[in-house]
Amino acid sequence: MAITDTDETQDSLSRLSMEDAEILSPQQMLNEFEVVNICAPMVRYSKLPFRQLVSEYETHITFTPMILAQEFCLSAKARDSDFSTNAAERGIFLMQESPSPSSSSSAATIPDSHPVKKRKVRGSLVAQFGGHDPFYMGHAAALIKKYVDGIDINCGCPQQWAYKEGIGSALLRKWIA
């Protein structure tokens, strides 16, 4: 559903139902919109209540904290503890489309006569997994895929415990067959 600035304001967004919102992958959001706000995964903070809070402040893509893939696969208790979601956590946003490549020509000094197009979009949730075993990483992704919009592999955690376990930044240094 395309909306122009003259048709809709942020106040009238509440009149539109959640069912009208487009559901896009995080990659589609990044490709199609002018501004996309992202809240990166944060240890102990990126749980459901925090993700709900930041979505109220125009955070379009949120991440879970790093979930240990092997434990997630092997334990229902770990799954219940490490991941929760609900229908409202992602938020609904009126997002401005990126200008088309043809409109970004040398006429940058001439105001564009076309109205700015905005679309109603549901936010995205990405689950981040830490692990080094392809079997558990794949199984964890399969277990969570119907609840999230994307899967992220943590290749950057520098914590010593993670490095010793062969996860996070260790994946960038160690060859794992």
What are the residue boundaries of the structural domains of the chain, listed by start? 2-8+19-100+115-172
Is pLDDT above 70 for 87?
yes
Is pLDDT above 90 for 4?
no
**pLDDT one-digit tens code per residue, 31-43:** 999 999 999 999 8
Burial of 66 (0-12, 13-18, 19+ CB in 10 A): buried
Dihedral pair phi/psi, residue 80, rounded to 5°: -65, -35
Contact 158, 168 (CB under 8 A): yes
- Tell which residue, 167, 104, 102, has the closest CA to residue 137: 167
Catalytic residue IDs: 157
Tell me the two tokens of residue 160: 């010593």
Distance separating alpha carbons of residues 152 and 64, to the nearest angstrom: 9
The β-bridge relationship of strands 61-63 and 124-130 is: parallel
CATH fold for domain 2-8+19-100+115-172: TIM Barrel (3.20.20)
What's the confidence (pLDDT) of residue 164?
94
Lowest mean pLDDT among 54-63, 66-75, 98-107: 98-107
Determine the average pLDDT of the residues in 89-118: 73
Which pTM was predicted?
A: 0.82
Determine the average pLDDT of the residues in 140-155: 97
The β-bridge relationship of strands 150-153 and 61-63 is: unpaired
What's the confidence (pLDDT) of residue 83?
96
What's the confidence (pLDDT) of residue 11?
47
Name the amino acid, one letter, at 2: A
Q: How sure is the predictor about 149, in pLDDT bands with cuts at 50, 70 and 90?
A: very high
pLDDT above 90 as % of the chain: 73
